Amino acid sequence: MRKNLRRCSIAELGQALRTGRLSCVALVESVLSNIKAQNPYHKAFILILEDRALKEAMKAQAELDNGLDRGPLHGIPYAVKGIFEVEGVANTAGMDYSFEHIALSDAASITLLKEAGAVLVGITNTSPLAATILGINHVFGTPHNPWKSAAYIPGGSSSGAAVAVSAGMVPFALGSDTGGSIRVPASLCGVVGFKPTKGWLSTKGVWPLAPSLDTIGLIGRTVEDVKMVYSCLHNKNTGNGSLKNDAQIHKTAQQKPVNHDIRIGCCSTIFLDDTEPEVITALEKSIKILSNLVFTEPILAALKPRVSTIEIPAIRALRKMMKETSFIASEAYPLHQRIIEDPNIDWVLNWLQSAAKHSKEDTLNIKKQYRKIAKQLSLSQYDLEILVVPATPIPATLLADCDAPTPHAQLSAIYSRNTLMANLAGWCSISVPCGLTKDGLPIGLMLCADAQNEALLISVAAAFEQASGYQSMVPSTKTYLTSGNTFQ
Question: Is the separation of the CB atoms in 109 and 201 below 8 Å?
Answer: yes
Question: Is the separation of the CB atoms in 74 and 63 below 8 Å?
Answer: yes
pLDDT at 252 over 80: no
pLDDT at 160 over 70: yes
Tell me the pLDDT band of 247, cut-offs 50, 70 and 90: very low
At residue 254, the pLDDT reads: 47
What is the C-alpha to C-alpha distance for residues 48 and 83, in angstroms, rounded to an integer? 15
CA dist 243 → 117, 211, 248, 419 (Å): 17, 21, 9, 30
Tell me the pLDDT band of 6, cut-offs 50, 70 and 90: confident
pLDDT at 243 over 60: no
At residue 299, the pLDDT reads: 80
What is the C-alpha to C-alpha distance for residues 130 and 386, in angstroms, rounded to an integer? 28
Closest CA to 422 of 411, 430, 410, 433: 430
At residue 246, the pLDDT reads: 30
Query: What average pLDDT score do residues 115-130 get?
Result: 97
pLDDT at 261 over 80: yes
pLDDT tens for each residue of 287-345: 999 999 988 888 888 889 999 999 999 999 999 998 888 989 999 999 999 999 999 89
At residue 483, the pLDDT reads: 46
What is the dihedral angle through the alpha carbons of 153, 155, 158, 164, rounded to the nearest 10 degrees? Answer: -50
Query: What average pLDDT score do residues 280-285 get?
Result: 97
Q: Give me the amino acid identity at 161.
A: A
Q: What is the pTM of this model?
A: 0.93
At residue 229, the pLDDT reads: 98
Q: What is the mean pLDDT of the chain?
A: 91
Q: Which segments within 34-146 are labelled E, that is strand? A: 45-48, 77-81, 119-124
Ramachandran sector of residue 134 (left: φ over 0; alpha: ψ -120 to 50; beta: rest): alpha
pLDDT at 53 over 50: yes
Q: Which domains does the chain have, with CATH numbers?
A: 3-487 (3.90.1300.10)
At residue 3, the pLDDT reads: 64
Q: Give me the amino acid identity at 364.
A: L
Tell me the pLDDT band of 201, cut-offs 50, 70 and 90: very high
At residue 238, the pLDDT reads: 47
Ramachandran sector of residue 93 (left: φ over 0; alpha: ψ -120 to 50; beta: rest): left
pLDDT at 482 over 50: no
Run of H or E including 25: helix 24-42
At residue 101, the pLDDT reads: 81
pLDDT tens for each residue of 69-89: 999 999 999 999 999 999 999
Cβ within 8 Å of residue 437, ≥6 positions away? 278, 395, 443
pLDDT at 284 over 70: yes
pLDDT tens for each residue of 361-374: 988 898 899 888 88
At residue 45, the pLDDT reads: 98
pLDDT at 5 over 90: no
Cβ within 8 Å of residue 151, ≥6 positions away? 142, 144, 145, 398, 399, 400
At residue 250, the pLDDT reads: 32
pLDDT at 488 over 60: no
Helices and strands, number each (H, E), in the chain: 15, 13
Question: Is the separation of the CB atoms in 394 and 275 below 8 Å?
Answer: yes
Q: What values do phi and psi take at 458, rounded to 5?
A: -65, -40
Out of 172-176, 189-193, 284-288, 293-297, pick the least confident. Answer: 293-297
pLDDT at 118 over 50: yes
At residue 240, the pLDDT reads: 43
% of the chain beyond a pLDDT of 90 = 79
pLDDT at 479 over 90: no
Query: What average pLDDT score do residues 478-487 get?
Result: 51
Out of 2-11, 205-214, 435-444, pick the least confident. Answer: 2-11
At residue 241, the pLDDT reads: 41
The DSSP 8-state label assigned to residue 30 in this structure reads H
